[in-house]
Structures are given as C-alpha cells and as structure tokens.
C-alpha cells in the first residue's frame, strides 16, 4: 500500500504538470499511449510515458488527459492491475476493447476541443480512427511537434545508445544482400520503388544485425528505407555503428543520422516515388511527411514480417541447439526445485533467481527473452503475473507452481512453461492438468494440409477443456523469432483468424492452459516448428505438422493417466524418452538421476 | 456427345444474336451472371440466361461477351462440367476465384470499350469492383435499362406467377407483427428509418408467407420495404395475392405492384430518409435509384438473416417432427435398396425415383429441397453430381453408393446424406468411411463456449482425414431454414471464418466427406441444431452443443471398428438405438426387421 500512495502522490503532481504544459501548448487534451516510435512490444525506459504519468506498468494501454478529466484504457489482462496502480481519483478506468477510446472521445470531447497526439507514437490507421471520433464531436485532433510529456518529465532517461553488432552468418543463415535481393524482386513486381521500415526486428533481420536498446529482445532502434535496387538507407545513431559493423554491412547500406529520415522521405516524394509503408506499425509521422511531399503512398504490411518468420535451415538447426541448452538449464532447475522445495524456504523470487543462474552459464546465452513468470498457488492463475517482493509466495505443499520463462541465445530464442505439483496435487488439479496436456498433445501431433491457419488448429488445443465446460482466455500459440522477439507475427494459433497460413520453418508456441482464479494456474508450453510431413502412405495432399523443439520433462505427478488415449500416452512417453536421450548426457549425475525418474514411461 | 454438339450449335446462334443486339444497343460487351433480381440460389427459368446463352447449367458462374471474345468463369466445382457443356471454340474457360473476372476485364478491355451490365443482376459491391476494373482499362461500365439477352431469347419463360400462401403460426411459431416489431426496435436504435429487403427468404420469413416461384424452395419472388413503424410496403404481383392472404397479412402490410418499387425509393430519397440495404445481396439498381433520389443510404447486411436463422421452439419441434417423417422415408428407401440391389437392375435414376416416391406420401410434404444427388461408384466422387440418362450407372457390387437428398415439409426442411456399400467394401473404403464418420461424430459430440464460430469447429471434422493426408474440398456444414432454403446463412461450419457465432436454435448440416476421384465418394450428413448444454458439472463457461435431428442408419458394413474410440463407438450405438426407437414403430414390418439389423450395436 505504501507503494501505491507514493505513486499516487507522484501521479497528482505529474498530471498537474502535464496539464499546465498542455495549456502552454494551447491544447485542451493529449493522448498518452503505451508506445514508442517503433511500435515495440518492450519499450525503452525513455518511452515509458504512460507508466511515468499514471503509474500503470502493463504492456498495453493508453491514457487520455483532458483539462478536467483523465481516462485510462487497458485490456482484460490488466483490469485488476490498473486499479492497484492507477489512482481512481485522478483517472477513470476503461476496457480498451469493450469500450474503445474512440467511443469515449465521441462522448467526452466538447466542440472545438483541441486534442493533441504525438504522430510518432501512433500508426496512421489508429490516428485516422481517432480523427473520425474527434470529427464527430466537432473537436480538433492536432499532431504535436514535441511530446508535452517529455517537457515535464525532468529525469526522462535518454534514448538508448547501445552498440549494434553483426549477427553472424553462421546464426542468420542467409546474407543480408540475398534477403534484400529477394525482397526487392517481389516489390519490383508490384511496382514499388521503396519501403519504409520502422519495426526494429524487421531491420535487424534484414541487415543481420542485433542491438540491446530494449529489455529482453536484441533490438537496435533505427529506421530504414529499402530501395528497389536492394540498397538500404539506414537512419541510426552513428555512435552505435562501429567500423566492424560498417564492414559487415557492406556498400549496399548507407548510414544516416536518424533526423535525416524526414529529408529522405521528402526526396522520395519529390521524385513521385511509389513508397510502401505499413498503416498499423509505421508511425503516422512517416505517412504525414510522405503525403506532404506528394509521394505515391502504398499501404501494405511490413514485407519483412513473413520471410523473417520462415526460418531457414541454419536458423532451425540453431534453435534446436539453443533448445537443448535451454532444456539443460530448465532440467537442472526442476531437479533443484524437487530437491530443495520439500525443505521449505523456496519462494517465487528465489525460483526466478535460481533459474536465471542456471541459464546464465549456457553457450551463446545473452539474456532472458522476457521477465520470468513464477507463480505459486493462486499467483499461477494470473496469466501475466510478475512477482514482486510484496506478492512473493513460498512454494507450498498441496499447491501447483507455474513457471514460464525463456532466453535469448545467439542461435535461437526460447520460451517454455512447466507446471508442477508441490507435494500431492488434488484429483481436480490432475483432471485439469491432463485436459491441458491432451490439448498440448493434439497440437504437437496435428497434421494439416498446406494452407491451414493457426486459427483452424486452435480448437484442437481447447476441445478437452470444453468437454468439461472450461476454457482459457489467451491464444494457444504465438510466433517466435530467431535471436529476436519472443513474440512475432504474422502467424499464431488463436481463436481469431489471422488469415496467415502456417508455413514450413515457422516457429510457434504450443501453450494451452487453465486458470482457477484464486487457486492455481496450469500451462504447458513447448515451442514447435512447422515441418513438411512426407511419410504418410497414400497421402493426397501436401501435409504439414509440428516438430517439438523444447526439451524438458512434463510433471507426471499431475497426470490422470486414465484420461489419456493410447496415442496420447505414447506421445508423452516418446517425448520423455527423447528428453532423456538428448538432455540426460548433458547434465550432472544428480540431475540425470532425477531426470531418469521424471521421464519414466507412464505406468 | 450428341448433346454437346446440339448445344454447341445453339450456342453459336445465340452468341451471334446477342452480339448483334449489343451492337444495336451501342455496347461493345455485356456481362451475363448466374443471377436473378433477388440473388436467389435456385433461379426461376426466366433468369437462366447464362445457361441459355452458353449451355453451362452449374449454379454459380458468369460470362463476359465482347465483340471478338467471350469468356466463362466458374468455380472449382465446375471445372470439368464447364468443358463438357460450353463450346471451347466460342468461350475461353476461367476459374472464378483464382482468376477473377475483374483481372480479366483489366487485361482484355480496350480503351473506351462500352461494357454493359444489368444492374438488377449484381450487388452494388460487385458493380463497384467491376467498375474499378473498367476504370483501370479506361473502359466504360454501363448499366442497361433492358437486358439484351432477353431481347434475343425469343422463348424466354415468363416470370413465375404461383400463388402465395400463409405460413401458419403453428409452423412459424412467431407472428409476423412480432417479428417486425423486434426488428424495427433494433433498427430504430441505429437511427434507421427503412430497410429495403430483396431476398425472397427474408421476406417470406418476415411476413410468414410461402410461395412456389423457384424449384426446391417455397419462395415468393417480391421486394419489400420494412418501415420504422413496423409496417411493410410489399412489392408483389397482385395475381399472386388472394383475399385469404390479404387477411393473413393484416393492416401492417401494404401491397403494391412490383414496378412501384422505384417510386417508393424515390419517395424515401425525397424525405432524406436513412435507408438500409445490403451491398452484397441487394441489386445495384436499388442503390443507384436511392442514390439518385438522395436518400441517406446505410450499407449493412440484411437484418432478417440472423433472427431467421435462430429457430424458435415451435420451429424446432416442427423440424424434429419433419425429420422423423423424413427418416421413415429414407429408412424405407434404404431397406428397399438392400432388398432390391442384389437382384441387379437398380440404377442411380431408379434410386432417385424410388426415394422421391417414399417421401411423397409424408404428412406436410411439399417438395424435395434440392435435386437428389445419387452417385454410384465414381459418380459418388463428383460432389455436385446430378444424374442424367447419359451418366446413369447401375448400383454395382463392390462399389459405394452415395445419396444426398432432402425435402420441404410445412414444419421443416431436411437434408441428409448416406453412403453405403453394395456388396463388400474394400479395406481402404472402410478406412476412409470410418475417418469421415469419426469427423462426423466429433462435430455431433462437440461442446463449445458461447461465441464460438463454425470455423473454429471445422477442423474437428477433418482431423482424422488429415492424419492420413486426406481432406475434402467443401464446407463441413451449412445453415438450413425452416420450410425455407436448404442453404441459408449467416452461420456455417467451414475452413474460412464468417465471424458469425453459432447461436442456440440455429440449424446446420454436419457433413464431412471424402472423394476418391474416379472410384468412389463418401459423405455422412445429419442436420444438427445448436442447443445450450447445462449438464456439465463444475462448468465455468456458458457451453453449447449440437442436437442431431436426422434419423437414419449409418452403414455399419463400411466401418473399420478398430479405428473407433470407445466414446465414438458409444455415440454410434446410441444414435442407432435412437433411430430404432423413433423410426422403428413408424415403418412396416419388413423395413423394421431390416432396421433392427442395421442398428445393431457394433460388435
């Protein structure tokens, strides 16, 4: 509670300061989204304006500040968190999806209100929707030149300035020149002369470079223009670019200071170039500048997203190696847990630290791929739980413990969830765990024709929970990068269709779950790679299936064996035998003994 | 072949006559779609312009006639049929989906070409797409006042003029006044003052009337405007409206001649009314007239579609009764088949006639709900097969026989497919049949949370075929009306998402299949109704499931029992026991004996 009061006091002063600043700027209001100039998932500290202003630390949301009112919008994951972190006397709470900000603007803006927004922090599509809402209310929607939050945030951190390094060909698997050539061939077919790229992972993939500007993902923050001749104009802080990197990039990449982007867009406009940019992920600023320069703008998705998602053979070999190393770390952690927890004293934070220690030593290890979710008992039911000293719980007997973690290795990115029983689980826990496991196995063993989307497979993971009137409120799987984002598109496995077919080489997570609020959470997550299935006798279609990448035991103590079919039991036993074969020789004697026991066939 | 030559000769003359007529009308080309003014699925004979002109009798397609070229576009179902029916010297063949007509127009129209179209035969969205294509080619896209095909089709049938009859409340379950009130309440919330309805099944449902203007569906062809005061202006041939019908309709429905529609739209425009119409199913003519009259047009789907799809309890009771009667007819037919086929001499046409005879006597029977698909051996693999004297095959030993049929009863519409072995089926046939059956059972036994779409369930039906590298190229299920269309929206079960959740009261078909081209086809189809599931212990979500409506035995001789799980076997035995209990007492002694055998539990 002390913490809440403190942040509340801050929040009062900060809100007042922002309102004063808005007045100076002749604005009646301002929109503060959770966003940076690159639509990153993890923001650099400098871009944490929403958290600084309101206290809300979730990874999606938006605040609207008016002279007499302020509203904060978050999605279903953060309904509780926003109430704990944001002062209800200052802000009204709203649901980002059910009660969209556009509707709120229509109702709450008065005629002639000047509502400001930072065109660097919104995609052009979002700006257009909000502008429509302002039009309905006869309010003005005004792009600012400088963000007023920055003006009042006196100790705002500087832009990150970490060095950018080459991503070696032995990890990337394909030279940047080849990637650029392939991309521009397709663009030329569509008569496109240039593409503006603003997503850092797209640029990192295209140029085979990595950085360290945000937590958990090796991203260099920058902008780029890919030209039809396969050259790239790269807008990046020169301090981040070493001579080695320049040599790695070669002649086809011209470096410019970031603030040269505007002039470059003007030049494209003057030449009446056909320029492509993504209306969802590229800042409205880019579109506005291109439009002002009279460029022929083509709205289309980032063309890097799909080829980046389809891993080449070297990336796939790398990810297999990374998963073996990660499996060793997780197995050592699970063995430690089994040995230590019965003596008491292990808490969620202690487990996070121990797991980080186990991973830290691995070859090619660079950092964790996201903040570890370490939830004992009821905390396991909070899907995006992050333990704090205030919420830290011991791993207590009779409860389940859920740990969702991953790491960035030079040769691959991992993401794995295991749920285990501390002491003896209840029959209900085992029933639920087994239904989740059956769903996991249904995805792991699915075969499907080329052209199938993740949405078409999603129900396979849920069907056994549905039979008991249960479900989970998150997707079944997300795309994963290769030493890049632990979440990436365009593919996923979820209820809502993305229209993106699963393609050989894509990596997705397979993570059904079940959450009993106030009691326990269950999730079983492996990463899988889409592969071509060519061993079916008399097959009439081109079929695909999944190769499971993650290697770590699944807690047999939580399985109600009678609920498994023969085929499901065979899959689990086969998987465990593989874990023993691949991980067993790589761990110490004690861990190996524990693993041998943990991977015994089901009786 | 004789038939092809004859239709070819006709086609030459007709095409020449149309081209001459286009010249008179100062047009360089014309579009001839498979369509009527109501976007009906089954056309009245008068609207069969595409078939008359080209010879193509499929139920989807389009021809473009230019001075020196002509092209016919059909979808994947009709690739073979179009080549058999349409003269390749006169028309080039194109795939409606892979090679859309808009692309063809862009490439093949010359500058200033005047391409005509009949604005009554295209939705406004379709017109806009084609207009864009014409714009790109700098051609003109010209709405005609009179269809030039009609001018040269000397023996074109007249518009159908069958009497319209009341659909009694004991079948409809809800009074038209109530339906209209409920609809207009929702429309008023959206500030809509009038809706133009042009889909005959929507009007039939809304007014509780039925007609006989097209084959297989009891539709009266007409137009209607639903007003905000819940009254209807109905544009219908007065010859179809008896005094009885007028009494049934009551004061809230004002009848007008069909040609009064234009003036009524003008009046709405003059009053600056907010008028809703569906851009996909309402003729472009309506939009053009409303726009010319300066109405405030709101594009939105037909508001009747969803409430019509959600059957009330009386409609559901009616459909159960209709399915019992239909089950009796089909069971008698199957018993007759079993007794007669071994002696030889039964052909596909003979079977069609016998089945029609069995159905003909039933209470409330009015007509078949579509042309029976009766396919022996390789003909069963043709998904939309319609037997002709030229293709008629005997039901021969060692082959499979597929029969897909249905009927219109006053209290419900049926649609059922059974596949059976003549003699002993091969092991491969049984393997495939059993995989189809497992998919059918997976749908029949599915439980799913409220909000789930048919697309989310589709994979359940395909998974067992996928495991063998097989699939089928049609949807798993379509909506079915209540003494209305055997195909209706908005729900379906298919790979592509419709975003329409399945709602309690909706009826859909459950019809996975497998087709081995040149050898045999398998399809197992029951109709099912969406129901609320409230008997799951500890359920946390509002769950839905399916009630199977269709009652007829599934051929046990085709089942490879070892492929069935315990639960699947229990479902089939339970279903068969129910068929025996419900149908057994309603059939003659011999049929009952056969049925008792056919519904024995699997050994």
Global ipTM: 0.91
Residue A4 confidence (pLDDT) above 60: no
Give A497's contacts in chain B (Cβ within 8 Å): 455, 497
Tell me how far CA of residue A525 lies from CA of A313, A439, A508, B223, in angstroms. 23, 11, 10, 56
Q: Return the bridge partners of B529, or none.
A: B507, B547
Low-confidence ranges of chain B (pLDDT < 50): 1-6
Of A264, A318, A333, the closest CA to residue A293 belongs to A264
Give A446's contacts in chain B (Cβ within 8 Å): 463, 466
Query: Given an 8 Å threshold on Cβ–Cβ distance, is B455 in contact with A456?
Result: yes
User: What is the three-class DSSP state of B93?
Assistant: strand
Query: Given an 8 Å threshold on Cβ–Cβ distance, is B540 in contact with A470?
Result: yes
User: What is the three-class DSSP state of A209?
Assistant: strand
Q: Which residues of A55-68 are buried (b: 16+ CB within 10 A; e: fewer)?
A: bbbbbbbbbbbbee
Q: Return the bridge partners of A204, or none.
A: none
Residue A400 confidence (pLDDT) above 70: yes
Encode A172-184 in three state secondary structure. HCCCHHHHHHHHH
Distance between CA atoms of residues B603 and B593, nearest Å: 19
Cβ distance A561 to A569 under 8 Å?
Answer: yes
Tell me how far CA of residue B386 lies from CA of B328, B329, B396, B522, in angstroms. 24, 21, 18, 16
Distance between CA atoms of residues B98 and B321, nearest Å: 43
Residues in chain A: 603
Distance between CA atoms of residues A508 and A486, nearest Å: 10
Query: Given an 8 Å threshold on Cβ–Cβ distance, is B469 in contact with A565?
Result: no
**pLDDT (mean) for A260-287:** 96
Distance between CA atoms of residues B593 and A367, nearest Å: 73
Distance between CA atoms of residues A105 and A125, nearest Å: 16
Cβ distance A162 to A213 under 8 Å?
Answer: yes
Encode B217-271 in three state secondary structure. CCCCCCEEEEECCCCEEEECCHHHCCHHHHHHHCCCEEEECHHHHHHHHHHHHHC
Query: Given an 8 Å threshold on Cβ–Cβ distance, is A543 in contact with B469?
Result: yes
Residue A7 confidence (pLDDT) above 70: no
Query: Given an 8 Å threshold on Cβ–Cβ distance, is A538 in contact with B469?
Result: yes
**pLDDT (mean) for A510-532:** 97
pLDDT of residue B86: 95
Q: CA-nearest residue of chain A to B449? A: A466
Note the pLDDT tens digit of each residue in A135-177. Answer: 999 999 999 999 999 999 999 999 998 999 999 999 999 999 9
* Residues of A at the B interface, defined by Cβ within 8 angstroms: 446-449, 452, 455-460, 463, 466-471, 495, 497, 533, 536, 538-541, 543, 565
Query: Given an 8 Å threshold on Cβ–Cβ distance, is B459 in contact with A457?
Result: yes
User: pLDDT > 90: what percent of chain A?
Assistant: 91
Question: Cα A474 vs. chain centroid, distance in angstroms?
Answer: 13
Query: Given an 8 Å threshold on Cβ–Cβ distance, is A466 in contact with B449?
Result: yes
Q: How many other CB atoms are found less than 10 A from the CB of residue B562?
A: 6
Reading phi first (left if > 0) and then psi (alpha if -120 to 50, else beta), residue A230 is in: left
Distance between CA atoms of residues B405 and B523, nearest Å: 12
Average pLDDT of chain A is 95
A79 confidence band (pLDDT: 50, 70, 90): confident
Give A457's contacts in chain B (Cβ within 8 Å): 459
Q: CA-nearest residue of chain B to A442? A: B463
Query: Given an 8 Å threshold on Cβ–Cβ distance, is A533 in contact with B469?
Result: yes
Task: Phi first, then psi: give them for residue B547, nearest 5 degrees.
Answer: -100, 120
pLDDT of residue B7: 57
Distance between CA atoms of residues B507 and B528, nearest Å: 6
Q: CA-nearest residue of chain B to A537? A: B468
Instruction: Please list, in sequence order, all residues whose beta carbon lies within 8 angstroms of the beta carbon of residue B567, skipping any fewer than 6 positions away.
Output: B445
Instruction: Please list, in sequence order, all residues whose beta carbon lies within 8 angstroms of the beta carbon of residue A580, skipping any fewer than 6 positions away.
Output: A595, A596, A599
Residue A3 confidence (pLDDT) above 50: no
Cβ distance B22 to B113 under 8 Å?
Answer: no
Interface contacts A/B by beta carbons within 8 Å: 75
Three-point CA angle A283, A289, A295, nearest 5°: 110
Using CB atoms within 10 A of its CB, is residue A110 exposed (0-12), middle (13-18) or buried (19+)? exposed
More confident residue, B78 or A518: A518
For B129, the token pair is 């797409």
For A355, the token pair is 């797991």
User: What is the three-class DSSP state of B296?
Assistant: strand
Query: Given an 8 Å threshold on Cβ–Cβ distance, is B469 in contact with A446?
Result: no
Instruction: Please list, in sequence order, all residues whose beta carbon lies within 8 angstroms of the beta carbon of residue B239, skipping any fewer than 6 positions away.
Output: B161
DSSP A482: S
Note the pLDDT tens digit of each residue in A235-268. Answer: 999 999 999 999 999 999 999 999 999 999 999 9
Distance between CA atoms of residues B53 and B68, nearest Å: 16
The long-range contacts involving B460-464, CB below 8 angstroms and separated by at least 24 positions, are B460/A459, B460/A460, B460/A463, B461/B493, B461/B510, B461/B512, B462/B512, B463/A446, B463/A460, B463/B439, B464/B435, B464/B436, B464/B438, B464/B439
pLDDT of residue B4: 42
The distance of B378 to chain A (nearest Cα, Å) reads 17
């Amino acid at each position: 509670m002390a913490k809440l009061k403190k942040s509340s006091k801050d929040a009062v002063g900060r809100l007042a300061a922002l309102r004063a600043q808005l007045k100076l700027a002749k604005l009646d209001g301002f929109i503060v989204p959770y966003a940076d100039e690159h639509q990153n998932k993890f923001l650099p500290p400098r871009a944490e304006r929403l958290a600084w202003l309101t206290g809300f630390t979730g990874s999606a949301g938006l605040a609207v500040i008016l002279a007499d009112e302020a509203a904060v919008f978050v999605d279903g994951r953060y309904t509780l968190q926003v109430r704990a972190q944001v002062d209800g006397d200052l802000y009204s709470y709203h649901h980002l999806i059910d009660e969209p900000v556009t509707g709120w603007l229509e109702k709450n803006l008065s005629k002639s209100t000047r509502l400001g927004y930072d065109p660097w922090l919104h995609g052009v599509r979002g700006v257009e929707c909000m502008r429509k809402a302002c039009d309905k209310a006869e309010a003005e929607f005004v792009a600012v030149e400088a963000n007023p939050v920055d003006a009042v945030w006196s100790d705002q951190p500087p832009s990150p300035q970490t060095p950018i390094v080459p991503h070696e060909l032995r990890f990337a698997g394909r030279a940047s020149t080849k990637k650029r050539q392939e991309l521009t061939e397709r663009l030329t077919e569509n008569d496109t002369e240039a593409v503006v790229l603003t997503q850092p992972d797209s640029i990192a993939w295209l140029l085979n470079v990595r950085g360290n500007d945000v937590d958990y993902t090796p991203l260099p923050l920058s902008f780029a223009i890919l030209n039809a001749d396969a050259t790239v104009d790269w807008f990046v802080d020169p301090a981040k670019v070493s001579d080695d990197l320049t040599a790695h990039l070669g002649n086809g990449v011209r470096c410019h200071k970031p603030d040269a982007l505007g002039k470059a867009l003007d030049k494209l406009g003057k030449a009446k170039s056909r320029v492509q940019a993504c209306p969802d992920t590229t800042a409205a600023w880019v579109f506005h500048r291109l439009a002002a320069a009279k460029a022929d703008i083509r709205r289309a998705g980032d063309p890097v997203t799909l080829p980046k998602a389809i891993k080449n053979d070297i990336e796939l070999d790398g990810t297999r190696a990374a998963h073996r190393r990660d499996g060793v770390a997780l197995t050592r952690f699970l063995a430690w847990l089994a040995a230590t927890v019965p003596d008491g004293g292990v808490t969620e934070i202690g487990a996070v630290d121990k797991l980080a220690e186990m991973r830290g030593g691995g070859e090619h290890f660079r950092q964790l791929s996201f903040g570890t979710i370490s939830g004992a008992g009821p905390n396991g039911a909070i899907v995006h739980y992050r333990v704090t000293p205030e919420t830290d719980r011991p791993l207590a007997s009779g409860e389940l413990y859920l740990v969702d973690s991953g790491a960035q290795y030079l040769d691959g990115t991992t993401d794995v969830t295991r749920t285990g029983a501390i002491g003896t689980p209840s029959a209900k826990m085992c029933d639920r765990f087994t239904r989740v496991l059956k769903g996991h196995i249904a995805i792991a063993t699915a075969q499907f024709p080329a052209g199938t989307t993740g949405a078409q497979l999603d129900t396979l993971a849920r069907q056994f929970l549905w039979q008991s009137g249960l479900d989970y409120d998150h997707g079944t799987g997300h795309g994963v990068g290769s030493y890049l984002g632990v979440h990436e598109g365009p593919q996923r496995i979820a209820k809502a269709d993305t229209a993106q077919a699963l393609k050989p080489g894509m990596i997705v997570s397979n993570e059904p779950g079940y959450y009993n609020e106030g009691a326990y959470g269950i999730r079983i997550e492996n990463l899988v790679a889409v592969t071509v299935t060519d061993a079916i006798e008399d097959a009439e279609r081109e079929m695909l299936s999944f190769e499971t990448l993650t290697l770590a035991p699944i807690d047999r103590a939580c399985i109600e064996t009678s609920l498994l079919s023969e085929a499901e039991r065979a899959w689990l036993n086969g998987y465990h035998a593989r874990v023993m074969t691949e991980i067993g020789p790589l761990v110490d004697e004690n861990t190996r003994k524990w693993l041998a026991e943990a991977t015994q066939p089901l009786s």
